[in-house]
Chains A and B, each alone.
Chain A
Amino acid sequence: MRETAVKDVLRAFLATLLAVLVYSLAGGAGPALLVVLNAFSVVVLYFSVRRGEVFGAFLGTACGLVQDSFSLGVFGVGGLTKTLLGFWAGFVSRRIDVAPFFRNGLFMLAMSVLEMILWVLVTAVVRRESLNFHGGLILLQPLVTAVLGSSLFAVERRLRARGSRGA
């Protein structure tokens, strides 16, 4: 049990580094991709569903603060929203079966929308100004996050099924 937890912590750390890589590459590809793609949210959602609300909350804090450190915005806004995202995702996924593909996608979409609403509210309160929605492009972010997150689970399920058939 302890060994699995250590492995998951290591995996989460590597996934965070991967998110930094994705974010760097997306930055090079243009501003639109950065607005639409939030790799840190995908990492938080994936591990929260796997490991539960406490792991999700800690990973949310870590990922959110890393994301904040690369942004000019107020440090901690991403940390707070991703902490709550990790907690909600872990908490809900322990009470509802979110394994089937479409249910998984819907669950991820709901969580990402909640995160975005929270981020908009917190940013509006902290900075006291209206937000730039990049011509509505930012509204696609939850959808992209949901598609990527649920695809990740689908790929994992397929790999496991192949592994068990092989054994």
Chain B
Amino acid sequence: MPLWENRRSVLILAGLAAFNILLISIQIPRGAEKSLFERSIFFLFSPVQRAVTGAVRGAGSLWTNYFDLRGVRGENQKLKKEIFFRNQDVRFLEDQLQFFRSEAQVRERLAAFQGKIIPARVIGADSANPYQTIIIDKGSFDGILLDMAVCDRLGNLVGRTIEPVSFKESMVQLITDKDSSVSVVSAVSRLTGSLTGKSGDTCELRYVLASAPGGQLGEELLTTGYDKIYPAGLRVGSIRSLEKDELSPIFRKIAVEPYFRFNTIDIVAVITKAGGGE
């Protein structure tokens, strides 16, 4: 009893520190896999994050809408005119398309494409390192599962869904995360390798043999689909530099600049494997 009274604060500190160390030590052999406790905390707080982001965005858009309304009439007239000409263009293109495919085939293809995409809004980024993960406002209720590819609005690869996936929110591992790995191929010289992040704004193309010919600055990289996570043909980034790897002479050192930008990933598209999304 006297020990508790004299050293109460130190004992509490020791208890809390031991609790945290225990949490850390539980995870170390399991790598990045999320513990039950961690998942519970995410389940508890991600709706709060979603709510506050939604409220702030709502207030912001209300303010913006007010100003937008003032010039909306003129813009409306302009858009009507533009739509008229666009419709003419579309009709012309549709006629051209009929030469190659039947209308039924085109509709079928479009429907299948839309069925494979779930649009989602980004509601947060990794608090310790923003180049590792983001959190989106779609979860298992919306058809999100683990290991689904995520693209930005331009179709550039952003990452994949990882644990935890809660009912209405999910975590996405970015391709810039150092633990991420994507099988890619260069568009022109067909250099195949594994794209790994560096937890910064660039990535690295690994396991390309020093003897492999080709590869040039600015060459585009696409997913191969070999990893069974990312569908083949997604745009990933472009080669920024090619050097000899001093540490490992059998491989080339290739720096890659990913296409996606943080300021354009407010909305992303999750590519479902089975289709049938929103």
Contacts and interface: CB of A to CB of B under 8 A. Distances in A.
Interface of A: 17, 20-21, 23-25, 27-28, 30-31, 34-35, 40, 52-54, 57-58, 60-61, 64-80, 83-84, 87, 91, 122, 126, 132, 134
Report which residue of A28, A60, A73 has the largest number of chain B beta carbons within 10 angstroms of its beta carbon.
A28
Interface residues on B, range: 35 or more
7 contacts: A23-B124, A27-B125, A68-B128, A75-B24, A75-B38, A84-B17, A87-B13
A72 B126 contact: yes
A71 B262 contact: no
B241 interface: no
B192 interface: no
A34 B28 CA distance: 26
Given A57-B16, A132-B200, A24 B41 contact: no
Contacts of A71: 126-129, 132-133
B199 A132 contact: yes
A69 B117 CA distance: 27
Contacts, number: 150
B21 A76 contact: yes
Contacts of B263: 30
Interface of B: 8-9, 12-13, 16-17, 19-24, 27-28, 32, 34-35, 37-38, 41-42, 45, 48-49, 52-53, 56, 122-135, 162, 171, 173, 177-179, 198-201, 262-263, 266
Contact of A31 (B38, B122, B125): B125
B35 A83 contact: no
A59 to B, nearest CB: 10
A27 B262 CA distance: 9
B24 A76 contact: yes
Contacts of B41: 65-66, 68-69
